[in-house]
């Protein structure tokens, strides 16, 4: 079944506007990558927050994402359309938890998250295929973010303690 081509007119609906990553999910190729790319400047706005407020913000983004992604998918009539990229925002923000500010880590976090999100190693692949609804759309990216964060923190630790 061919994927529905998304119209920029969808952005008039606030739920689609958020789910489609402020329009980044409308990219004709690699919308997940463009969604994650849109997350980078948003991360730069969140980065100065204390760890407590950053974690609270990410938690709110994840919980809101369950509703936003579920509602947008239902309105489109297609579960987890590639244009829905709110989950990429959440996954990248999770990747960047407690990461010291440095462009190297920002770019490496981007790359690691995209690798885990695209390759979907187990159990991400299983969750992606078997868990439906807004929670299903979000959970594989949340787990990809956790795995990317673990790798990123390991790299940071070894690079600063070598």
pLDDT tens digits along 17-49: 999 999 999 999 999 999 999 999 999 999 999
At 7 the pLDDT is 82
What is the count of structural domains for the chain?
Answer: 1
* Residue 29 counted as domain residue: yes
48 falls within a domain: yes
Is 131 among the domain residues? yes
**Per residue, what are the HEC states of the chain?**
CCCCCCCHHHHHCHHHHHHCHHHHHHCCCCHHHHHHHHHHHHHHHHCCCCHHHHHHHHHHHHHHHHHHHHHHHHHHCCCCCCCCCHHHHHHHHHHCCCCCCCHHHHHHHHHHHHHHHHHCCCCHHHHHHHCCHHHHHHHHHHHHHHHHHHHHHHHHHHHHCC
Domain-embedded: residue 49:
yes
Check residue 68 and give its pLDDT: 98
In a domain, 122, yes or no: yes
Residue 5 is assigned to a structural domain of this protein: no
Is residue 96 domain-resident?
Answer: yes
Burial of 46 (0-12, 13-18, 19+ CB in 10 A): middle
Rounded to two decimals, what is the model's pTM? 0.95
For every one of its 162 residues, what pLDDT tens digit does the chain have, with 9 covering 90 and above? 445 678 888 899 999 999 999 999 999 999 999 999 999 999 999 999 999 999 999 999 999 999 999 999 999 988 889 999 999 999 999 999 999 999 999 999 999 999 999 999 999 999 999 999 999 999 999 999 999 999 999 999 999 987
- Find the domain containing 151 and state its range: 12-160
Query: Is 139 among the domain residues?
Result: yes
């Amino acid at each position: 079944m061919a994927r529905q081509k998304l119209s920029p007119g969808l952005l008039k609906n606030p739920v689609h506007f958020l789910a489609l990553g402020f329009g980044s999910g409308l990219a004709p190729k690699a919308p997940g990558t463009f969604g994650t790319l849109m997350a980078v400047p948003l991360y730069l706005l969140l980065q100065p927050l204390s760890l407590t407020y950053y974690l609270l913000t990410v938690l709110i983004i994840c919980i809101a994402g369950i509703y936003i992604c579920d509602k947008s998918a239902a309105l489109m009539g297609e579960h987890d359309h590639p244009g829905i990229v709110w989950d990429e925002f959440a996954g990248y923000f999770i990747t960047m938890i407690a990461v010291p500010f440095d462009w190297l880590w920002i770019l490496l976090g981007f790359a690691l998250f995209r690798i885990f999100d695209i390759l979907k190693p187990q159990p991400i692949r299983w969750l992606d295929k078997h868990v439906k609804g807004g929670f299903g759309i979000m959970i594989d990216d949340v787990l990809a973010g956790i795995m990317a964060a673990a790798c990123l923190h390991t790299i940071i630790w070894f690079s600063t303690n070598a």
